Chain A
């Protein structure tokens, strides 16, 4: 199984261009040629000025996300053989993010949102290593495990029309990570995260389009995490109401 395929790439060089433009290449492919291999071929053989992000080639680093025929995909996990019957494949930088150059998107807004929800294990009191491990049963781990597979590739942000409409929306990956740590039996940082989940740009800004879960290359299912976050937000609201009625602080 082999052949050649027309690859149309969106170009944008900030020093020279005021608007993006298209460039086409004829790329030879065999059964194991990925979109990332095709981009490497173009850069090595056809046009060395083409810019794109990549690193691991095995869907771990999350760097090579691009729009392939209008779908957010990892270049290394998408193969030209699946497009053998198409006239061409069209590569664009990830949707909903600013374009720095060619296929390179600015993922800073996504990283800022992820940082907002404090996605790390938090303990109310620091423990010395001598105190030993904090143990967790397999059932406790299963509650959050699938949500911990996120590689921050940003495909879910490119798939999310709510993030496209409102860049302040914390978005699929950030809200999934918040849920991942809230569900972790070792974590005690829920009260610090809930104000962000409850806020206007938190879980309630999600309208369950669900496409984020379709495009996730690690089967994380962000739509499930966010909508479980809505349940958690409701419970948190009731708890806060109860606390306020009793004259306490909300949290």
Chain B
């Protein structure tokens, strides 16, 4: 007579192996980004309410706990991006004449544009702000 023990996944399964802990860390990067997104939405609302409210929001964002949150969110987004760039060669298979494009090229094709965006977008924003401020003066 059969009497099989049913499988049971306990609540702490993710703590049991480093591979699971790395996975959970990657997924948990969404949490600080979620909080940061809430802060930005709050900022948009305050912007609509006038300059005093917006200045108060800016001061709020510069308070030590919020600076800490933004630092954590920045690290989280960098880590998340890095882990996904590492996984790209598993997903993206680009056939060539003699096989497929090597993984390190695929990773490079993601890392380089991302790094360029990181450098160029803030520069562009800084330049645009300068133009805007210059035009207003």
How would you classify the secondary structure of chain B's contact residues: helix, strand, loop or mixed? mixed
A100 contacts B4, CB within 8 Å?
A: yes
Q: Which of B82-110 contact A (CB under 8 A)?
A: 87, 90-91, 93, 95, 98-100
- Interface residue B49 (Cβ < 8 Å from any Cβ of A): no
A209 contacts B91, CB within 8 Å?
A: no
- Interface residue B20 (Cβ < 8 Å from any Cβ of A): yes
A14 contacts B4, CB within 8 Å?
A: yes
Q: Which of A42-50, A81-89, A222-230 has 4 or more CB atoms under 8 Å from chain B? A: A222-230
A14 contacts B1, CB within 8 Å?
A: yes
Residue in chain B with minimal CB distance to A142: B99
Classify chain A's interface size. Answer: 35 or more
A70 contacts B23, CB within 8 Å?
A: no
Contacts between the two chains (Cβ within 8 Å), count: 69
Residue in chain A with minimal CB distance to B86: A210
Cβ contact of A227, chosen from B2, B6, B17, B90, cutoff 8 A: B90
**B7 surroundings in chain A (CB, below 8 A):** 95-99, 164, 167
Cβ contact of A161, chosen from B3, B5, B6, B14, cutoff 8 A: B14
* Residues in B lying within 8 Å of A, measured CB to CB: 1-7, 9, 13-14, 16-17, 19-20, 23, 27, 87, 90-91, 93, 95, 98-100
Given contacts A161-B20, A164-B9, A209-B20, 7 further A-B contacts (CB under 8 A): A20-B5, A70-B16, A71-B17, A98-B6, A106-B4, A143-B93, A230-B91
